[in-house]
């Protein structure tokens, strides 16, 4: 198990970076020109970053990045 300690400012910066990355991944996942194999990798990355995001962000912020089951099946 690996852990990190962040102060409030660092946690805010981490949330900001994760939001930007999640937004970019969502736009890439909606792009029809991206190959299915690449989308699979993007989906795995999205899932990993979203789990990290849920540890740092408020539940209200997390709902913004929740994906519907239909979007990823």
Sequence spans of domains, the chain: 8-72
What local confidence, expressed as pLDDT, does residue 4 receive?
A: 85
Residue 38 has pLDDT above 70, yes or no: yes
In angstroms, the CA 15 to CA 55 distance is 10
Query: What's the average model confidence in pLDDT over 3-24?
Result: 94
- The residue that leads in pLDDT, 68 or 56, is 56
Q: What are the start-end ranges of the H helices in the chain?
A: 8-30, 36-56, 59-64
């Amino acid at each position: 198990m690996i852990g990190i300690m962040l102060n409030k400012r660092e946690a805010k910066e981490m949330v900001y970076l994760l939001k930007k990355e999640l937004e970019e991944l969502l736009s890439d996942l909606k792009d029809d020109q991206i190959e299915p194999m690449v989308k699979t990798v993007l989906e795995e990355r999205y899932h990993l970053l979203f789990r990290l995001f849920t540890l740092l962000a408020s539940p209200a912020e997390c709902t913004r990045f929740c994906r519907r089951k239909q979007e990823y099946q």
